[in-house]
Every structure is written in structure tokens, then in C-alpha cells.
Amino acid sequence: MLRVRATSGERSQSFRALLEYSPGAMLLTAYTPFGTTAIRLYASGNRVLFLNDLENTTWSGTPAEFAASFGFFDATPVTMAELILGRRTSAPGVNITYDPPAFPPKHVVVTRGSQRLDIEHLESSYTNAAVEEPKVPRGYRCCVPPRL
């Protein structure tokens, strides 16, 4: 479980999130202040699926298309998951600080220009289970690009 503060220029959002990771795949579930699901971001290989549970919309595409649409860093979602977890210590054009500088870190700061992620690891657990792609709920409107 994570506490995340995402800043891009003058805009900022804070939320709690659950990050699931297995080699080559990740699922980030962000929650509202009431504990309901706000968004789900799944990535594996050359596929990204973004579910906006607040607006009942969905989008899918490549990691490059996601980065261009979402506008937050240029790293793929799987690379960002590895940075957040401390499994990777660098990505092109991204500065990262781990506190403590050991695995697992308690606090992670990822910056690139005016974009910044402040992540506090609240609770961690480990399993060998593969991360599964979420199913798109019936009635979700397709092809709505994600945004911060």
C-alpha cells in the first residue's frame, strides 16, 4: 500500500494506491478518500490498460501512447513500478531518491522537470502470484485517453 502525491506543474493530486508487480507486468489501483477504486492502470509487454472507475471509461494502447496521453514522465508503467519499488534505480531523464537507500525504501521521490512523484510505502507484502489484467466492466465507455 502506498501514499502518493503526483505533481505536474501547478497541478497536484494525492491518493492511496496498491501496486502489484511481477516481472514484466504491473497493476496500480488508486483509491478515493472513501476507499473506493478511482483508477486502475495495468501494463504488460507492449499493452497498457487504463480503467477510470470514477467516470466508467476505459482506454488501451502501447506504453508510448500512454506516456504521450497521460503526460507524466516518459518511462513505461512497468519501469515506473520498478522505480517505485526500488527494483530499478535509474531511467532516462528521471531523477530518483530512495530513503533509506536500501530495499525496500520507505520513501521514494521521482522527478523529471516540473513533474514529481512523492511515494511513501505504507505496507508491503510479497507473493509469487502473477499480476492479472483486470476485466473491463460492462458499460464502460471505450477509448477515453487517460489524464492526470
- Residue 41 in this model has a pLDDT that exceeds 80: yes
How far does CA 81 lie from the centroid of its chain? 6
pLDDT band at residue 146 using 50, 70 and 90 as cut-offs: confident
The answer to whether the CB of 110 falls within 8 A of the CB of 99 is: no
Summarize pLDDT for 5-25 with one digit per residue, the tens: 999 889 899 999 999 999 999
Domains of the chain: 2-121 (2.50.20.10)
pLDDT of residue 49: 96
- Residue 34 in this model has a pLDDT that exceeds 70: yes
For 123, counting Cβ atoms within 10 Å of its Cβ (0-12 exposed, 13-18 middle, 19+ buried), the class is exposed
* Whole-number average pLDDT of the chain: 90
Can you tell me the mean pLDDT for 136-145? 95
| Identity of the residue numbered 131 | V
pLDDT of residue 73: 66
